[in-house]
Amino acid sequence: MSVSGSSVLPEDFQNILDDYRRSQDNLRTVNEGRSSELQERLQEMRESRDQYKAQCEELKGQVKSLTTEMANLRAELLAARQAKSEPDPLENVTRHWEVDGQAGIYKGQWRNEKPHGKGVLWSLDEQTKRYEGDWVAGHLHGKAKSFFHDGKQQDYDGEWQKGIRHGKGTLYLGDGKKRYEGEWAAGQYNGKGTLYFTDGHKEYEGEFKSGCFNRSGELNTVFHYYYPGGHQPMRDFRTFKGAFTNGDFLGDGDVKNMAFNDGTYSGQVRNHKPHGNGMWNRCEKTGSGHERYNGAWIDGVYHGHGTKRNKDGVQVSDVFANGEFLGDGECVELTITGLPSPYYAGKYSGQLKDHKPCGNGRFVQNCNSSLAEMIYSGEWKGGLPDGKGSGNVIQARNPPERYKYNIYVYNYQGDFIAGKPADGPVNLRATNCWKGGHVNEARFHFEGDIKDGVLWQGTETCGEGKHSVYNGAFGAWQRQRQ
């Protein structure tokens, strides 16, 4: 068979195919060799790993064994040292001893040429003192007492550390009263404790640091004041309760009788100023002019609900803002002036609005004379009696006769408009009396009604019925002809 162009004979094709097969066989042989080599290496690594683990376990056992051996050696060494340094036995002695520059006579237990155990030391300085208690290596250590130079009255009873007050203990005054009771450190008040005045009252109770008030506590200081109406100064305590640092009150907390604005303040404070709820009082040395405020404060001024009483006795109660009364609330003995006739200046107790009587209240005045008085109780509006109320007037007039008075008693109960009676019953009685209060004769008695502000109708009796009687209408406060 012939083919145009290039041609491939069958035997050539067979050769090519054989070559390809041989190359595939060779490649397969190589791969199988490599795989076998890798398997061998992997097996070697596994064997190395197992050997390493075994070595590690062996080393751990050796370390554990060495640790136990070292512990045993350490225990043997410690026991040997203790056996070698066994202290001398205690003995009771009386010897000269000097500690911290103080020479003295020591009597008690002794070890290694030093006070050790229970013993007493009498110092030989100018102020002989006695120390009695536990000693360790020449120093007070543990529970012990120190005494004043007389050797009888103790000045400290508590814990010591190397000759210094440390732990819990009590410091005493020469008369046996407590001065301090609590915790100590390095010879100073440190920790929780209580400091006392010489009379036994608490001066400070709380926390200390290096002998000073620190963190939280309550401090009392003595001050003198004058009680209202009194002339001798009274003694009391100022109290500061809150946070302290280096002995100073930080100004936040609660106080009692703190000096403020020429008076005393008790209550809550912030930055040393009244802030929160509290009471302020001030009184002259003579006991007069007592002023007081009790209520809410902000930054040292009245602010919020409160009650204020000035030195004249005027008392107002309700809301304050920046130290000023807003004018709405309650008052006691507020002086009122500028009222229309027939009213005069007097004292008002009751409700207020815009600084004027409004609501229910009571008004008492002296009518230009110590022998006259007007009282009104009832409703007010705009500073004047207005609404339901009752008025009473008691007046004594001196006629020409010596030691003789005409007494007028006027009573009205009903409606008031703009300060004047409007509609309601009225009662008027006039009598004669001698000075001293003895009634001599009733002059006249009137009972009737007021309408639209004027006397309308009623009955007038002269001389308690012994004389003329008028019963009828009135106009402009005069009898109407019948």
Mean pLDDT confidence for 474-479: 51
pLDDT top residue among 99 and 133: 133
pLDDT top residue among 296 and 314: 296
Residue 379 contacts residue 389 (beta carbons within 8 Å): yes
* Structure confidence at residue 278 (pLDDT): 92
Which of 135-149, 247-261, 454-468 is most confident? 135-149
* Structure confidence at residue 210 (pLDDT): 92
Which of 210-219, 245-254, 371-380 is most confident? 210-219
Residue-wise pLDDT tens digits, 114-126: 899 999 998 876 6
**% of the chain beyond a pLDDT of 70:** 66
* Structure confidence at residue 120 (pLDDT): 93
* Structure confidence at residue 169 (pLDDT): 96
CA distance 92 to 88: 13
* Structure confidence at residue 259 (pLDDT): 84
DSSP state of 463: G
Task: Identify the band that residue 132 occupies on the pLDDT scale cut at 50, 70 and 90.
Answer: very high
Residue-wise pLDDT tens digits, 163-208: 999 999 999 998 899 999 999 999 999 999 999 998 888 999 999 9
The neighbour count for residue 63, using CB atoms within 10 Å, is: 10
Mean pLDDT confidence for 59-87: 80
* Structure confidence at residue 30 (pLDDT): 74
* Structure confidence at residue 70 (pLDDT): 86
Strands (E), 246-383: 248-260, 263-270, 273-282, 291-298, 301-309, 315-321, 324-336, 346-353, 356-365, 372-381
CA distance 266 to 254: 8
Residues 6+ apart with CB under 8 A from 104: 96, 97, 98, 121, 122, 123, 124
Picking from 302, 298, 259, the residue whose alpha carbon sits closest to that of residue 282 is 259
Residue-wise pLDDT tens digits, 435-472: 444 444 445 555 665 565 555 455 555 555 445 554 55
* Owner of token pair 């009122």: 336
Mean pLDDT confidence for 145-159: 87
CA distances to 32, 34, 50, 52, 179 from 38, rounded to whole Å, are 10, 6, 19, 21, 92
Q: Which amino acid is at 315?
A: Q
DSSP state of 90: P
CA distance 381 to 418: 8
CA distance 256 to 220: 9
Query: What mean pLDDT is reported for the chain?
Result: 76
Give yes or no for a cis peptide into 342 (omega within 30° of 0).
yes
Residue-wise pLDDT tens digits, 215-243: 889 888 876 665 555 555 666 778 888 88
Domain ranges in the chain are 327-481
The neighbour count for residue 336, using CB atoms within 10 Å, is: 19
